[in-house]
Protein backbone atom coordinates (compact mmCIF):
# COMPACT_ATOMS: atom_id res chain seq x y z
CA UNK A 1 0.00 0.00 0.00
CA UNK A 2 2.77 2.40 0.97
CA UNK A 3 4.50 1.48 -2.24
CA UNK A 4 1.43 2.45 -4.28
CA UNK A 5 1.16 5.80 -2.54
CA UNK A 6 4.79 6.54 -3.29
CA UNK A 7 4.35 5.52 -6.86
CA UNK A 8 1.27 7.75 -7.16
CA UNK A 9 3.10 10.82 -5.88
CA UNK A 10 5.98 10.02 -8.22
CA UNK A 11 3.67 9.99 -11.21
CA UNK A 12 2.12 13.21 -9.98
CA UNK A 13 5.40 15.13 -9.84
CA UNK A 14 5.16 16.14 -13.47
CA UNK A 15 1.52 17.20 -13.10
CA UNK A 16 0.39 20.67 -12.21
CA UNK A 17 0.09 21.73 -8.57
CA UNK A 18 -3.73 21.28 -8.44
CA UNK A 19 -3.38 17.79 -9.91
CA UNK A 20 -0.79 17.03 -7.25
CA UNK A 21 -3.08 18.25 -4.53
CA UNK A 22 -5.92 16.15 -5.93
CA UNK A 23 -3.72 13.07 -5.97
CA UNK A 24 -2.71 13.74 -2.37
CA UNK A 25 -6.32 14.17 -1.35
CA UNK A 26 -7.37 11.00 -3.11
CA UNK A 27 -4.69 8.87 -1.48
CA UNK A 28 -6.20 8.40 2.00
CA UNK A 29 -9.73 7.71 0.66
CA UNK A 30 -10.58 4.06 1.17
CA UNK A 31 -14.05 4.32 -0.28
CA UNK A 32 -13.34 3.08 -3.81
CA UNK A 33 -11.27 -0.09 -3.67
CA UNK A 34 -12.14 -1.13 -7.24
CA UNK A 35 -10.85 2.14 -8.70
CA UNK A 36 -7.72 1.97 -6.56
CA UNK A 37 -6.99 -1.55 -7.80
CA UNK A 38 -7.38 -0.48 -11.40
CA UNK A 39 -5.05 2.50 -10.89
CA UNK A 40 -2.56 0.27 -9.15
CA UNK A 41 -2.56 -2.10 -12.12
CA UNK A 42 -1.88 0.65 -14.58
CA UNK A 43 0.93 1.94 -12.38
CA UNK A 44 2.45 -1.53 -12.30
CA UNK A 45 2.41 -1.53 -16.08
CA UNK A 46 4.27 1.78 -16.04
CA UNK A 47 6.82 0.44 -13.60
CA UNK A 48 7.51 -2.26 -16.20
CA UNK A 49 9.36 0.50 -18.06
CA UNK A 50 8.54 0.22 -21.75
CA UNK A 51 5.58 2.60 -21.70
CA UNK A 52 7.09 5.34 -19.49
CA UNK A 53 10.79 5.46 -20.30
CA UNK A 54 12.97 5.34 -23.31
CA UNK A 55 15.50 3.09 -21.57
CA UNK A 56 17.89 3.08 -24.51
CA UNK A 57 18.21 6.87 -24.64
CA UNK A 58 18.48 7.10 -20.83
CA UNK A 59 21.29 4.56 -20.92
CA UNK A 60 22.99 6.54 -23.66
CA UNK A 61 22.73 9.70 -21.55
CA UNK A 62 24.21 7.83 -18.61
CA UNK A 63 27.09 6.69 -20.81
CA UNK A 64 27.80 10.26 -21.95
CA UNK A 65 27.67 11.53 -18.36
CA UNK A 66 30.16 8.87 -17.27
CA UNK A 67 32.36 9.74 -20.22
CA UNK A 68 32.35 13.41 -19.17
CA UNK A 69 33.36 12.35 -15.66
CA UNK A 70 36.36 10.29 -16.78
CA UNK A 71 37.32 13.00 -19.27
CA UNK A 72 37.67 15.47 -16.39
CA UNK A 73 39.45 12.85 -14.26
CA UNK A 74 42.06 12.08 -16.93
CA UNK A 75 42.71 15.76 -17.58
CA UNK A 76 43.12 16.35 -13.86
CA UNK A 77 45.62 13.48 -13.72
CA UNK A 78 47.84 15.04 -16.35
CA UNK A 79 48.38 17.88 -13.87
CA UNK A 80 48.95 15.54 -10.90
CA UNK A 81 51.25 12.91 -12.43
CA UNK A 82 54.24 15.28 -12.93
CA UNK A 83 54.02 16.13 -9.22
CA UNK A 84 54.03 12.45 -8.30
CA UNK A 85 57.00 11.83 -10.60
CA UNK A 86 58.90 14.68 -9.02
CA UNK A 87 58.10 13.48 -5.50
CA UNK A 88 59.14 9.85 -6.10
CA UNK A 89 62.39 8.61 -4.57
CA UNK A 90 62.89 5.42 -6.60
CA UNK A 91 63.81 6.17 -10.24
CA UNK A 92 61.75 3.19 -11.46
CA UNK A 93 58.68 4.61 -9.77
CA UNK A 94 59.42 8.04 -11.25
CA UNK A 95 59.66 6.34 -14.67
CA UNK A 96 56.35 4.58 -14.15
CA UNK A 97 54.67 7.94 -13.50
CA UNK A 98 56.35 9.43 -16.56
CA UNK A 99 55.18 6.55 -18.76
CA UNK A 100 51.67 6.76 -17.39
CA UNK A 101 51.55 10.49 -18.05
CA UNK A 102 52.18 9.82 -21.75
CA UNK A 103 49.52 7.06 -21.69
CA UNK A 104 47.05 9.38 -19.97
CA UNK A 105 47.48 11.95 -22.72
CA UNK A 106 46.66 9.25 -25.28
CA UNK A 107 43.69 8.15 -23.21
CA UNK A 108 42.33 11.70 -23.28
CA UNK A 109 42.58 11.53 -27.08
CA UNK A 110 40.60 8.28 -27.05
CA UNK A 111 37.85 9.78 -24.91
CA UNK A 112 37.63 12.70 -27.36
CA UNK A 113 37.39 10.20 -30.19
CA UNK A 114 34.55 8.44 -28.41
CA UNK A 115 32.68 11.75 -27.96
CA UNK A 116 33.01 12.26 -31.69
CA UNK A 117 31.86 8.74 -32.51
CA UNK A 118 28.79 9.30 -30.32
CA UNK A 119 28.08 12.63 -32.03
CA UNK A 120 28.63 14.62 -28.83
CA UNK A 121 30.82 17.61 -28.06
CA UNK A 122 33.75 16.72 -25.81
CA UNK A 123 32.76 18.21 -22.48
CA UNK A 124 34.24 17.50 -19.06
CA UNK A 125 32.22 17.25 -15.85
CA UNK A 126 34.06 17.62 -12.58
CA UNK A 127 34.89 14.26 -11.02
CA UNK A 128 34.79 14.76 -7.25
CA UNK A 129 36.30 11.32 -6.67
CA UNK A 130 39.41 12.02 -8.71
CA UNK A 131 39.82 15.42 -7.11
CA UNK A 132 39.74 13.71 -3.70
CA UNK A 133 42.18 10.98 -4.72
CA UNK A 134 44.67 13.54 -6.00
CA UNK A 135 44.30 15.54 -2.77
CA UNK A 136 45.12 12.39 -0.81
CA UNK A 137 48.26 11.90 -2.91
CA UNK A 138 49.32 15.47 -2.19
CA UNK A 139 48.72 14.81 1.49
CA UNK A 140 50.84 11.65 1.22
CA UNK A 141 53.71 13.73 -0.15
CA UNK A 142 53.38 16.30 2.63
CA UNK A 143 53.26 13.63 5.33
CA UNK A 144 56.44 11.77 4.28
CA UNK A 145 60.08 12.89 4.16
CA UNK A 146 61.62 13.79 0.82
CA UNK A 147 63.95 11.06 -0.49
CA UNK A 148 62.42 8.31 1.66
CA UNK A 149 61.09 4.94 0.56
CA UNK A 150 58.10 5.47 2.81
CA UNK A 151 57.12 8.34 0.54
CA UNK A 152 57.25 5.95 -2.43
CA UNK A 153 55.10 3.45 -0.55
CA UNK A 154 52.55 6.24 0.09
CA UNK A 155 52.68 7.33 -3.57
CA UNK A 156 52.07 3.77 -4.76
CA UNK A 157 49.05 3.39 -2.48
CA UNK A 158 47.54 6.65 -3.77
CA UNK A 159 48.35 5.84 -7.40
CA UNK A 160 46.76 2.40 -7.08
CA UNK A 161 43.60 3.96 -5.67
CA UNK A 162 43.52 6.14 -8.77
CA UNK A 163 44.05 3.16 -11.08
CA UNK A 164 41.29 1.20 -9.36
CA UNK A 165 38.89 4.09 -9.82
CA UNK A 166 39.79 4.24 -13.50
CA UNK A 167 39.47 0.48 -13.90
CA UNK A 168 35.95 0.66 -12.45
CA UNK A 169 35.06 3.64 -14.67
CA UNK A 170 36.39 2.18 -17.93
CA UNK A 171 35.10 -1.31 -17.11
CA UNK A 172 31.61 0.16 -16.75
CA UNK A 173 31.95 2.29 -19.90
CA UNK A 174 33.04 -0.73 -21.96
CA UNK A 175 30.04 -2.73 -20.74
CA UNK A 176 27.62 0.15 -21.34
CA UNK A 177 29.01 0.68 -24.86
CA UNK A 178 28.46 -3.01 -25.64
CA UNK A 179 24.90 -2.84 -24.32
CA UNK A 180 24.29 0.21 -26.52
CA UNK A 181 25.61 -1.71 -29.53
CA UNK A 182 28.58 0.67 -29.83
CA UNK A 183 31.16 -2.03 -30.39
CA UNK A 184 33.88 0.20 -31.86
CA UNK A 185 33.58 2.50 -28.88
CA UNK A 186 33.82 -0.51 -26.57
CA UNK A 187 36.99 -1.72 -28.32
CA UNK A 188 38.62 1.70 -28.06
CA UNK A 189 37.80 2.09 -24.36
CA UNK A 190 38.93 -1.48 -23.68
CA UNK A 191 42.44 -0.43 -24.81
CA UNK A 192 42.49 2.19 -22.07
CA UNK A 193 41.06 -0.29 -19.55
CA UNK A 194 43.95 -2.65 -20.33
CA UNK A 195 46.51 0.13 -19.83
CA UNK A 196 45.03 1.01 -16.44
CA UNK A 197 45.18 -2.65 -15.37
CA UNK A 198 48.81 -2.93 -16.51
CA UNK A 199 49.73 0.23 -14.61
CA UNK A 200 48.10 -1.16 -11.48
CA UNK A 201 50.08 -4.40 -11.85
CA UNK A 202 53.33 -2.51 -12.41
CA UNK A 203 52.73 -0.50 -9.23
CA UNK A 204 52.15 -3.73 -7.31
CA UNK A 205 55.39 -5.17 -8.73
CA UNK A 206 57.34 -2.06 -7.73
CA UNK A 207 55.95 -2.22 -4.21
CA UNK A 208 56.58 -5.95 -3.83
CA UNK A 209 60.01 -5.95 -5.47
CA UNK A 210 61.63 -3.53 -3.11
CA UNK A 211 60.00 -0.26 -2.22
CA UNK A 212 57.93 -1.64 0.66
CA UNK A 213 60.87 -3.69 1.94
CA UNK A 214 63.21 -0.70 1.83
CA UNK A 215 60.58 1.37 3.58
CA UNK A 216 60.28 -1.18 6.38
CA UNK A 217 64.07 -1.21 6.84
CA UNK A 218 63.99 2.57 6.92
CA UNK A 219 61.56 2.51 9.84
CA UNK A 220 63.84 0.10 11.76
CA UNK A 221 66.83 2.46 11.53
- Which parts of this chain interact with Fe ion (CB under 5 A)? 104, 107, 166, 196
Question: 132 Cβ partners below 8 Å, 6+ apart?
Answer: none
Q: Is 63 exposed, middle or buried (0-12, 13-18, 19+ CB in 10 A)?
A: buried
Which residue lies nearer to Fe ion by CB, 60 or 164? 164
CB of 98 vs Fe ion, minimal distance in Å: 13
d(CA 9, CA 129): 33
CB of 184 vs Fe ion, minimal distance in Å: 20
Which residue lies nearer to Fe ion by CB, 175 or 198? 198
CB of 126 vs Fe ion, minimal distance in Å: 16
CB of 84 vs Fe ion, minimal distance in Å: 11
CB of 103 vs Fe ion, minimal distance in Å: 7
**CB count in 10 Å sphere of residue 98:** 16
SS3 state of residue 93: helix
Q: At what angle do helices 149-179 and 128-143 cross, to 10 degrees?
A: 170
Which residue lies nearer to Fe ion by CB, 150 or 152? 152
Q: 97 and 88 in contact (C-beta within 8 Å)?
A: yes
CB of 166 vs Fe ion, minimal distance in Å: 5
Which residue lies nearer to Fe ion by CB, 136 or 218? 136
Which residue lies nearer to Fe ion by CB, 152 or 166? 166
Q: 199 and 96 in contact (C-beta within 8 Å)?
A: yes
- Quick one: which of 176, 66, 193 has its CA closest to 120? 66
Which residue lies nearer to Fe ion by CB, 134 or 150? 134
How far are the Cα atoms of 94, 135, 184, 192, 211 from residue 132, in angstroms, in the given order? 22, 5, 32, 22, 25
Amino acid sequence: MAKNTRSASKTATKKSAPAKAAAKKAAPAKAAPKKAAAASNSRSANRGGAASFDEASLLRELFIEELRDIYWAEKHLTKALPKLRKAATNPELANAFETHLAQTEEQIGRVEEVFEMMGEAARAKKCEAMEGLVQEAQQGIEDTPKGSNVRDAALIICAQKVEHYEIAAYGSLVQLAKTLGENEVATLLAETLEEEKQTDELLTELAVSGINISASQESED
